[in-house]
A and B are shown apart, each in its own frame.
Chain A
C-alpha cells in the first residue's frame, strides 16, 4: 500500500526566503509523485509531478522537487517565497497502474509574511 507523510502542517516564511515543504512516501512499487496547491475556495492545481524520468522536477511558479529514492522523499522547494505562494500544499502518490487514484498527504499550509 502507498502512503504519504507531510512533515509540518504549517510552515511560515518571510517574503524572499527559501520555501521547503517536506514529503516522504511509502510504496512497495516504483511510485509516481505529485505536488498540488490549493488556494482558498479553489480546486487543486498541479504544481509538478515525478514519473520516473529526471529526479529533479521543475514545476510552475518557480517550484521544484527532487525525488530521492534512498530517503523516500520528494520535498518541494522554491528559492524565494512570494506573498502569492500562501496556500495549502498537498503531496500525493500514485502507482504505475492505469486508472488509479492519488493518495494524498494531510497537507501543509504555507504562510508568507512581508
Chain B
C-alpha cells in the first residue's frame, strides 16, 4: 500500500530556532499534501494544503510566515517552523493524496513530535 514517511519522528529545539519537517510519499506521486497539527487528546487540525509547484493554502489563523510550506516535487513537502516558541510544541502530521479528488484516500505519515524548550 501507499506509504508516507516523515522525518524526523521527534525533535527538540531551543526557542527561537527553526525546524524543518519532511513529508515524503515513498511509492506514489502525491498531487496534494496536507499538513495537520494535533494537540494531546485532541483531533487533527488542518494547517495548510499544498499542491506541487504552487503556493500552499493556509487555514484561517495559521501564520504562513511562521509555518513555511514547500512542495517542491510530487513526492516531497516540507514544513518549516520558523522562530519556534514553546507554544508551537505539538504533533505535526502530513498526509498525501494521489489524485485531486476529495474521494481519494489520504495516506498519513507517522507524525513528528516537536518540543520547543
A residues within 8 Å of B by Cβ? 9, 32, 36, 41-46, 49, 51, 90, 94-107
* Residue interface bits B25-36, CB-to-A below 8 A is 1, else 0: 000000110101
| Pair A104/B102 contact, Cβ less than 8 Å | no
Tell me how many residues of B have a C-beta within 8 Å of chain A: 27
Could you write out 15 A-B pairs with CB less than 8 Å apart? A9-B41, A43-B107, A43-B108, A43-B109, A45-B108, A46-B107, A49-B105, A51-B103, A94-B102, A96-B103, A97-B102, A99-B31, A99-B49, A101-B34, A107-B42
User: How far, in whole Å, are A101 and B59 apart by their CA atoms in the complex?
Assistant: 11
Q: B4 — which chain A residues lie within 8 A by C-beta? A: 43
Residues of chain A with a CB closer than 8 A to B93's CB: 43-44
Shortest distance in angstroms between B61's beta carbon and chain A's nearest beta carbon? Answer: 14
Could you give, for residues 80-117 of chain B, a 1 whenever the CB lies within 8 Å of some chain A CB and a 0 otherwise? 00000000000001010000111101111111000000
Given known A-B contacts A99-B100, A105-B43, A42 and B110 have beta carbons under 8 A apart: yes
Set B95, B102, B109, B110: member contacting A100, Cβ < 8 A? B102
Residues on the A chain within 8 Å of B106, using CB: 46, 102
Q: Are A99 and B32 in contact, with the CB atoms below 8 A?
A: yes
Q: Report yes or no: B44 in contact with A90, Cβ–Cβ below 8 A.
A: yes
Among candidates B41, B46, B109, residue contacting A101 with C-beta atoms closer than 8 Å: B46
Q: Which listed residue, A44, A45, A103, touches B46 by the CB 8 Å rule?
A: A103
Distance in Å: Cβ of A19 to nearest Cβ of chain B: 20
User: Judging by beta carbons under 8 Å apart, are A98 and B46 in contact?
Assistant: no
Which residues of B lie under 8 Å from residue A105 when comparing CB positions?
43
Q: B77 — which chain A residues lie within 8 A by C-beta?
A: none
Q: Compute how far the CA of A104 lies from the CA of B102 in the bound complex, rounded to whole angstroms.
A: 14
Q: Are the CB atoms of B101 and A98 closer together than 8 Å? A: yes
Among B34, B45, B46, B101, the one with the most A-chain Cβ atoms within 10 Å of its Cβ is B101
Is the C-beta of B51 less than 8 angstroms from some C-beta in chain A? yes
A46 touches B51 (CB 8 A): no
Cα-based distance from A36 to B110 in the complex (angstroms): 13
Select from chain A the residue with minimum beta-carbon distance to B51. A99
